[in-house]
Amino acid sequence: MAHRIAVIGGDGIGPEVTAEALKVVRAAGVAIETTDFDLGGQRYLRDGEILSDAVLEQLRHFDAILLGAVGTPDVPPGVIERGLLLKMRFELDLYVNQRPFVGVAPGKTAVHDFIVIRENTEGPYVGEGGVLRRGTPHEVATQGSTNTRMGVERCVRYAFELAMKRERKHVTLVHKTNVLTYSGDLWERTFNIVAKDFPQVKTAYNHVDAACIYFVEDPYRYDVIVTDNLFGDILTDLGGAVSGGIGLASSANLNPSRTGPSMFEPSHGSAPDIVGTGKANPTAAILSAALMLDFLGENAAAERVRSACEPAVTGTTVEIGNAIAARLASK
C-alpha cells in the first residue's frame, strides 16, 4: 500500500528542493501518494491564510508531512513561524526534533557521527510572557520557559531508546543547570531517573556553552545529545555548520506515539534570493526524506538513499536530484 504524504513546498526554494526529494523517494522504489498543500508566506500575502483548523484536520490523516521551506521577507518575523510551524508542532504533538550530523568538522580529518534530540513543544516556544509600558523608557519584557515532567521525560526516554540502537550507546544531557536552576533541575533529575532504566547506556552532562566549544573542537565525544527546545535550536544550527553546512542538514519533527503524522524538513531557509537559479542544493531535503522513510518503516530504502548521497554531488538543483536518483537506479 502506498504511503500517503502531505507535501508543503512552501516558499522560495522549498518547492524546488522538495520536488527533487520526492523524485529520489520514488527512485528508491517506495510507493507514495502525494497531496500538495499551498501554505507559507506567499499564501499568507495572498489571502491571509496561515494554517486553518480545517487544513490542520486534513493533515492529521496523512502518514507523514514533507515540508520544503517557509518564509518570505515581506512577512514580519514570527507570523509564519508561530502560525504554521509551531502550530503544527503543538497540534500534531511533534515533541521530538531529531537531527543527525555526519561529517568532518573544519580543521579535522576524521568523520563524526552524532544525533541531537531536541524537545520540540515546550520551553520558551510556548509563548509565555508579556510586555509592560511598551515603547517607553520603563518598558519591561518577560519571556518564560515552560517545562513539564511529562514533556521532558518522553523526550529523554526517546533519546535513550535511540542510543540503545547505536553502537556507542551514549547519551549526553546539555543544559545550563548552574543558572537555570528550576528547569535545569527538572531536566537533570528526569535524565538521571530515566537513565536507571537503561543500564547499558553511558551518560554525560555538558553545560550548553561548553557543548558549543566541543561541537567545534571535539565533536567525536558525542553519540546522542538530548536538550531542551531553545538550546537544541541553537546547537543544531552549529551542528550543521561543523558537518558540511546548514544546506546539508536534515531534520525530523516526530510524534513517536504515532497519534498523528510526523513532519520532515531540511534545516535551511527559503533562500528567496536564489529561487529559480538552480543554485539550491536539494541534498538536505533528500536526507530529510530518508528520515521520513525510516519513520514509515522503509528502512532499507532510507539507507539506500543516504548511501546514494555519498559522495556529495555538485551541479544545479535538478542535476543533483537526477544524479542521486540515477545512483539509486544503478544499485
220 is catalytic: no
Catalytic residue among 95, 125, 158, 222: 125
CA distance 84 to 130: 21
Q: pLDDT band for 122, please (50, 70, 90 cuts).
A: very high
HSE, side-chain direction, 13 A CA sphere, residue 297: 6
The reply to whether 113 and 46 lie within a common domain is no
User: What confidence score (pLDDT) does residue 17 get?
Assistant: 98
The reply to whether 63 and 101 lie within a common domain is no
36 is catalytic: no
Report the amino acid identity of residue 71.
G
Domain count of the chain? 2
The reply to whether 108 and 244 lie within a common domain is yes
The reply to whether 193 and 242 lie within a common domain is yes
The reply to whether 139 and 167 lie within a common domain is yes
Give the percent of the chain with pLDDT over 90.
97
User: What confidence score (pLDDT) does residue 330 get?
Assistant: 82
Task: List pLDDT tens digits, range 58-107.
Answer: 999 999 999 999 999 999 999 999 999 999 999 999 999 999 999 999 99
The reply to whether 119 and 248 lie within a common domain is yes
Q: pLDDT band for 293, please (50, 70, 90 cuts).
A: very high
CB count within 10 Å of CB 127 equals 12
CA distance 249 to 100: 8
Q: Is the pLDDT of residue 331 over 80?
A: no
Q: Which domain holds residue 324?
A: 1-94+257-331
Vertex 267 angle, CA 115 and 195, to 5°: 25
Q: pLDDT band for 247, please (50, 70, 90 cuts).
A: confident
User: What confidence score (pLDDT) does residue 268 get?
Assistant: 93
Do residues 305 and 289 make contact, with C-beta atoms less than 8 angstroms apart? Answer: yes
Residue 63 DSSP code:
S
The reply to whether 101 and 250 lie within a common domain is yes
Q: Is the pLDDT of residue 130 over 90?
A: yes
Pairing state between β 64-69 and 112-119: unpaired
Vertex 305 angle, CA 66 and 258, to 5°: 40
The reply to whether 166 and 271 lie within a common domain is no
| Per-residue CA distances from 70 to 38, 136, 178, 279 (Å) | 11, 34, 36, 18
Task: List pLDDT tens digits, range 269-283.
Answer: 999 999 999 999 999
Q: pLDDT band for 1, please (50, 70, 90 cuts).
A: confident
User: What confidence score (pLDDT) does residue 238 get?
Assistant: 96
Which of 254, 286, 302 terminates a domain? The answer is 254
Task: List pLDDT tens digits, range 176-229.
Answer: 999 999 999 999 999 999 999 999 999 999 999 999 999 999 999 999 999 999
Which of 254, 274, 292 terminates a domain? The answer is 254
Catalytic residue among 209, 273, 279, 331: 209
Question: Domain of 200: which CATH number?
Answer: 3.40.718.10
Catalytic residue among 38, 237, 273, 279: 237
The reply to whether 114 and 169 lie within a common domain is yes
Q: pLDDT band for 246, please (50, 70, 90 cuts).
A: confident
The reply to whether 141 and 281 lie within a common domain is no
The reply to whether 148 and 224 lie within a common domain is yes
CB count within 10 Å of CB 175 equals 23
233 is catalytic: yes
Catalytic residue among 176, 222, 223, 228: 176
User: What confidence score (pLDDT) does residue 218 get?
Assistant: 97
Identify how many contiguous H helices and E strands the chain contains and give both numbers: 12, 12
Helix H or strand E encompassing 252: strand 250-254
Which of 234, 254, 274 terminates a domain? The answer is 254
User: What confidence score (pLDDT) does residue 223 get?
Assistant: 98
Across the strands, what pairs with 252? Answer: 98, 264
Q: Is the pLDDT of residue 124 over 90?
A: yes
Q: What is the mean pLDDT of the chain?
A: 96
CA distance 172 to 187: 12
The reply to whether 210 and 269 lie within a common domain is no
